[in-house]
Amino acid sequence: MPVSVNDTYGDPFIIEQVGNTVTKLTSLDRHRAPIAIFTKAGYSEEVLAQLETVPAQVAANVVVFYSLTGLDEGGISFDERVRFIQALREIFTNTLVFTRPIIRNRNDDPAMLRRLAEVAAEHTGYLVLGGLHDAKKRKTIETPVEDQLITFCDELGVPTFHKTSCAASWLHGTECWVHDLGAPRDLDSLVSLGYRFGIRDDMVVLDRGTTGDINFIRMLTRSEVYLREVISNYNLLTLPSGERKLEATSSWFAWSENIDTCLDCNYCIIKQIEYLKKMRVRIGVHPSRLPEIVASTGPSQDFSAFRLTKLPKDHAGRNVYADVRTVKPCRARLYPRPLRVERTTGQGATDASSSHR
């Protein structure tokens, strides 16, 4: 199960949170699927020293998506961020430029897009196109802006991806768990978690659920998911989990501490999510503990207690992922798979790197 670490309010690589991030990463030493880190943190020797303690086999599994926008969030300059990206790549080979968000009239001019592509060309080798926001911070599709960024990257020989899942699966030489779907598999995992479902036309069918359920079941079964009734467009799961909330974004199962300190970006959407905001809450759990948490806790989240469902008013007839989120093509199919090279580090541990850079 692809898992993200500390991807709610807070930043996994700021000094206030890096200790918890290292603890979580270290505990994932037997985790085989990709692990995602999303960060916008500034350069810090203290943070780097802590990150160097992450075991090599875990670091090889981590994909760091560094959000580079040119907006100097938290007062951190562009050059400082590039310096941090360079240093992070010494620890996490798979560190990528992630251009999220691009906001109309703020950082969508060709000069800035070119600069972002050039950083990817010089320092990371790959780029993930993040969500594009309009001036009111709504996610929207600005095809010319996206095309411009892809063109710059093509000119510089930088593979680009629409979704983090596409990039991570490509780097790990596996199928994309968002796009490469087929007949449902590993259905035992759904049974063990207590999901009640049927199968129809190679889809897992549930009577009711959330967008989070669609995301989660798709990543477990690698198949399309059909909900007869979508009760919420939040990423929360309907599985019982007590006080702890379980979340799955379209690409990652979330394991996170939501804290009250971060860069305070003025476009931050987490501050608008009613169960997160700046509250100290725990999201998710070590993946190996998921069955235990689900079996030992009470009823599922009461979705009627939320003020919002994030569903459009006319949501009848919305049943699958494409009805509730914007679908992007998988660009991983455009590029030959990277060859993963095993190399031995000075400590005798094994490290994996890609031959593509």
Question: Min. distance of Cβ 278 from ligand SF4 in angstroms?
Answer: 9
Question: Min. distance of Cβ 75 from ligand SF4 in angstroms?
Answer: 12
Give the CA distances from residue 175 to residues 21, 172, 252, 330, in Å, rounded to whole numbers and listed in that order.
27, 9, 14, 11
Q: Which is nearer to ligand SF4, 64 or 231 (CB)?
A: 64
Radius of gyration over every alpha carbon of the chain, rounded to an integer in angstroms: 20
Provide the mask over 29-58, with x wherever binding to ligand SF4 is found by CB under 6 A and - wherever it is not.
Answer: -----------x------------------
Question: Min. distance of Cβ 28 from ligand SF4 in angstroms?
Answer: 21
Taken in order 167, 172, 177, 182, the sign of the CA dihedral is: positive
Candidates 116, 150, 263, 332: give the one binding ligand SF4 (CB under 6 A). Answer: 263
Question: Min. distance of Cβ 255 from ligand SF4 in angstroms?
Answer: 16
Q: List beta partners, residue 247.
A: 236
Provide the mask over 61-100, with x wherever binding to ligand SF4 is found by CB under 6 A and - wherever it is not.
Answer: ------------x---------------------------
Q: Which is nearer to ligand SF4, 82 or 330 (CB)?
A: 82
Q: Which is nearer to ligand SF4, 41 or 63 (CB)?
A: 41
Candidates 3, 5, 9, 130: give the one binding ligand SF4 (CB under 6 A). Answer: 9
Ordered strands of the 102-103 beta sheet: 102-103, 132-133, 139-140
Candidates 11, 146, 224, 257: give the one binding ligand SF4 (CB under 6 A). Answer: 11
Q: List beta partners, residue 68.
A: none
Q: Which is nearer to ligand SF4, 272 or 326 (CB)?
A: 272
Candidates 90, 264, 274, 292: give the one binding ligand SF4 (CB under 6 A). Answer: 264
Question: Min. distance of Cβ 112 from ligand SF4 in angstroms?
Answer: 18
Q: Which is nearer to ligand SF4, 133 or 179 (CB)?
A: 133
Question: Min. distance of Cβ 103 from ligand SF4 in angstroms?
Answer: 12
Question: Min. distance of Cβ 130 from ligand SF4 in angstroms?
Answer: 11
Residue 53 sits at φ, ψ, to 5 deg, of -85, -5
Q: Which is nearer to ligand SF4, 40 or 89 (CB)?
A: 40
Residues 166-185 that bind ligand SF4 (CB under 6 A): none
Question: Min. distance of Cβ 254 from ligand SF4 in angstroms?
Answer: 13
Question: Min. distance of Cβ 119 from ligand SF4 in angstroms?
Answer: 18
Residues 223-262 that bind ligand SF4 (CB under 6 A): 262
Q: Which is nearer to ligand SF4, 91 or 265 (CB)?
A: 265
Binding residues for ligand SF4, total number by CB under 6 A: 10
Residues 265-304 that bind ligand SF4 (CB under 6 A): 265, 268, 270
Residue 260 sits at φ, ψ, to 5 deg, of -100, 5
Question: Residue 145 interacts with ligand SF4 (CB under 6 A)?
Answer: no
Residue 293 sits at φ, ψ, to 5 deg, of -65, -45
Which residues here bind ligand SF4, judged by CB under 6 A?
9, 11, 40, 73, 262-265, 268, 270
